[in-house]
Structure 1
Amino acid sequence: MTVVISGGGPAGMMLGLLLARAHVEVTVLEKHADFLRDFRGDTVHASTVRLMDELGLGREFAALPQSRLGDMELPVSDGRRVRMTDFARLPAPYNYIAMVPQWDLLNLLAETARREPAFTLRMNTEATGLLRQGGKVVGVRYRTRDGEEGELRADLTVAADGRHSALRQDAGLVPEELPVPFDTWWLRLPRHPEEQAEESRLIPSFGTGAFALSLTRNDYFQISYSTAKGSDARLRAEGIERFRARIAELMPRFADRVDHLSSMDDVHLLEVRLNRLRRWYTDGLLLIGDAAHAMSPAGGVGINLAIQDAVATAALLAEPLRRGRLTTADLARVQRRRRGPMMIMQRLQLMLQQSFFVPVLRGSRTTAPGPVVLAARHLPAFRHLVSRLIAVGPRPEHAPAFARRSPVGAEAAQ
């Protein structure tokens, strides 16, 4: 049996590699010419680092440009900070989150997958709709960047084409939208030479009606600025001078470099969405990752969940595909396995919104809630739980036996 995957993001590329290693004929369609795009999610969580080792890619992954994400700290009322996580106390060597440019990770997966005879990657090719026969999805319609249109038939079509999935729309599947009170704007600011040795830590800054966070990258700071949903037109109308002042007010340490933002073109909107499908599949079609459940950027867990979806999909479907006996019941098994972890993380994100983000946006809070501060200060088990949920996830998936290659040793992942 054959598989076509729409979308060459982390879920699509991982699933393509795994199915090819199971000797299932698989084609991944990616609409862009390369993977090089700014402000994509770049966190590679501990369970994914372990997965790379299981696939025999630990050494290659460790060679990618990367840094380790430090613990999350929140401001408290006495002007100090409280540490919310303790990643180092997770079982070694998979006790950290790596910051890796997503294009480097995707290039590694693509290069590895191309070594499998059953794998095909078609860049500059966008899946635009579904092919149907007798009520069953039997492939996709596609369009290349040159305008060529065609059809690609497959026994299984997988939509891994993100939160604006064209295949989901064509299938008539409408996600349930959950309330999200904020949007996020991404930007980058330079790192000074004397800052190169700084430990990367997650320390959000809360202001009146807005909050910001800096991520330490190899040679720059990646900044997220969040305020009330629907504010993009207003922020752009106010202009870059006012936006620079907003960043400097929230994060005074960056006041000396906000002039590097030359215009609002340097500020990129992420329209935050939190949603989920009631049903991830129809006959011949399966949706995974953001196409099935868009996540808020809170905790940076979306990529990890998408990759875990891909691993579970390959583990559950490879054998039915090889035998030519794939049924909708098999597709339902994927949803049953992955829906629980997704629901847990979405509920946690909703709780985080209500306890942190909504009060900040209303101007009624600029520090962490008291009960959270007490738990973080006095209950190590609380910090461990938060660390595990973020870095590992509620149900981490392991590489299936057919996809494993000789491990490179734990030291290669450190």
Structure 2
Amino acid sequence: MKTLHLKDFYKFIITNFRKLSFGWILTFLSSFGQTFLISLYVPEIIKAFSISEGTFGAIYAGCTVTASIIMLTVGHTVDHKPAKTVTAFSITGLAIATILLGFSYYFIPLIIAIIMLRLFGQGLLTHISMTLISKIFDKNRGKALSFSSLGFSIGEAILPILITTIIAFYNWRVAAIGSGALLLLYLVKLKFTNLKHFDDKLISIKGNTTKKLVNNYKEIIFNKKFGILMPAVFAVSFINTAVFFYQYIFVEQKEWSATLYASFFTAYAITRLVFSLFGGVWVDKYTAKKLFRFYLIPLNIGLLPFAFMDSIIGALAFLILAGITTGISGTVKTAIIAEVYGTENLGAIRSIFTMFMVISTALGPLIVGFLIDHDFSVSHILLILSIILCIVVFNSQRINRI
């Protein structure tokens, strides 16, 4: 049965490759604004500006929160502006951000660059990709989203090697400026790309649909649906960012081999990629509502061996189980919003979820860093995160009531 589903998946990709590849390239390019790539510049930025890790962490958190707030004001545009327009705007903004980062010799340009990286990269490019793909595909939304989300995995596999190589042979400023040049090159391709098929479901901002939602975000946030969906969306980004941000500190405290631990990331990448694909098939077969109740459980289980096992196999177990949840979540988080709220105003509604998701990536490292500074052990920190995730999983069971 699984083979049949994967065969259908392959046929679906071949048939719709032109549309799906657009979603894939946007998630790939969003890497330039994601924490995993920005973190490669951090040691050099700290040296260049003579600041501490804590100071930069605070700056990064502040910039991320600022970007998330701005995201709320512009995320709805994907509902009523042509796909090419919003994409060109976001790619241009991200290109300017990376180039500005390379030319930042003072704090103000650095802060502006980081805000723009988080807004246009992690925020808007991901948002545009997931929203447009959700709107144009209904019956096969899960497969479409899972294929588009593969851009994240490919970015994680390729870009860190490319960026670190440029930094090693030249410097971090050349790497940042070169990234901006690459993004500008994509704008040339975008000019000759036909995206009219994504504009069929545009709605007028003059009506009482998207505009009403933009002016009444408070109603959405205090709705029962939001209270069920948001904690799960928030938790994955919060816990993943917090753990991965301090993973080598945890490994050091456990007295494990950092080199061996780093090699385990291959297992994480493979698991995430495989379950990104399976997640799409399962969403189409069982619906996102059913998967939503259970997809956080592997990550929750994975925190326990990482916390309490003396062997580094505990870290491998965590990475594999985290890969399962992270892979599935890329599809489930967007598909569940489309199933619960519909797709007409998906850009406006999803921008709220994206805002909180981005905020979670800022709060995770801050809170865990606070616990580390107050001498909490690795085991206690990971146990706290597991308890939080248990509460979120129980809350997710309420999805059947809406």
The structure where strand makes up a greater share of residues is 1
Do Structure 1 and Structure 2 share a fold, with TM-score over 0.5? no
Which bracket does the TM-score occupy, shorter chain normalised?
under 0.3
The structure where helix makes up a greater share of residues is 2
Instruction: Select the structure of larger CA radius of gyration.
Output: 1
User: What TM-score do you get using the length of structure 2 for normalisation?
Assistant: 0.25
